[in-house]
């Protein structure tokens, strides 16, 4: 019965954490000019233009494929890190605020590097600054979603665990 309760509580926490991370990500991209320009260059502006093309008569299968690819990328970026950190935290019965916020933020910030694999990033001072600022925005988005998860479900992750005998 306890497992079912933890699953429901974890699911509710993830449902609340993912939109919070999305809001922080959107705010970070909109408020930071370097991140806004970088995301614009990566194609987010192209998605908005693609919606205009759909209205102008783009074939539905192409439009649906583009939307599915965009939603898959958002799910990987916003859902995977808090879900993975929550799974590890629940398994190991971790309750630390630093674990949920820090690990989720670090994993979210590292996703572009992980997805890039062995491809070398562009070099130069401007590219490093842009990548660092985008990573900072991603870290904040991940940390926010991790902290929301912790507030809802993480604080009680270790309840029911036998207390350690400190008398010795």
Give me the tens of pLDDT residue by residue for the chain, a chain 168 residues long: 788 888 898 899 999 999 999 999 889 888 888 777 766 665 555 556 666 666 666 677 777 777 788 788 888 888 999 999 988 988 888 888 899 999 999 999 998 888 777 667 667 777 777 788 888 999 999 999 999 999 998 777 656 554 444 454
The model's pLDDT over 106-139, given as tens digits with 9 standing for 90+, comes to 999 998 888 777 667 667 777 777 788 888 999 9
Q: In the chain, pLDDT over 70 holds for what percent of residues?
A: 77
Domain range enclosing 126? 12-26+36-41+76-156
**Is 53 within a domain?**
no
**Is 82 within a domain?**
yes
Residues 141, 25 contacting (CB under 8 angstroms): yes
Number of domains in the chain: 1
Q: DSSP H helical segments within the chain, as ranges?
A: 2-31, 33-42, 44-55, 60-78, 80-92, 97-98, 104-116, 125-152
**Is 99 within a domain?**
yes
State the sign of the Cα–Cα–Cα–Cα dihedral 93, 99, 101, 104. Answer: negative
């Amino acid at each position: 019965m306890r497992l079912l309760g933890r699953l429901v509580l974890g699911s509710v926490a993830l449902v609340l954490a993912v939109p919070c991370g999305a809001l922080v990500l959107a705010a970070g991209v909109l408020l930071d000019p370097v991140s806004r320009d970088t995301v614009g260059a990566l194609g987010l502006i192209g998605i908005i233009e693609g919606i205009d093309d759909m209205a102008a008569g783009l074939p539905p299968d192409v439009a649906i494929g583009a939307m599915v690819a965009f939603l898959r990328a958002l799910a990987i970026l916003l859902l995977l890190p808090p879900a993975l950190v929550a799974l590890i935290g629940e398994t190991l019965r971790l309750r630390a605020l630093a674990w949920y916020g820090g690990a989720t933020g670090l994993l979210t910030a590292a996703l572009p590097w992980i997805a890039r694999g062995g491809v070398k990033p562009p070099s130069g001072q401007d590219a490093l600054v842009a990548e660092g600022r985008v990573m900072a925005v991603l870290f904040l988005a991940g940390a926010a979603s991790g902290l929301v998860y912790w507030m809802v479900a993480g604080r009680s992750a270790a309840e029911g665990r036998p207390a350690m005998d400190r008398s010795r």
